[in-house]
Amino acid sequence: MQYRVLTPINHNGILLSPGELFCFDEKAAPALLESGAIEEAAKPFSDTEKLEA
């Protein structure tokens, strides 16, 4: 599933900034959603956008 980052996150050595879209694994997503660090992305992004993010 695709999520929008709401707070700075270091996920497995990848630094993510607020506003970025990212695919989190099923283990990481629930805790990040509950803490308010991410939200479900309303609009999916393409593979090109994922590589540029």
18-39 confidence digits (pLDDT tens): 999 999 999 999 999 999 999 9
Largest CA distance in the chain: 29
What per-residue confidence (pLDDT) applies to 42? 79
Token pair 């805790």 is at which residue?
31
Cα separation values, 15 from 3, 27, 31, 49, Å:
15, 18, 17, 16
Phi, psi of 3 (to 5 degrees): -130, 155
What per-residue confidence (pLDDT) applies to 23? 94
Predicted TM-score (pTM) of this structure: 0.75
Token pair 């283990």 is at which residue?
27
Total structural domains in the chain? Answer: 1
pLDDT, mean of residues 7-27? 95
Q: Which domain holds residue 7?
A: 2-52
Is residue 2 within 8 Å of residue 23, measured between CB atoms? Answer: yes
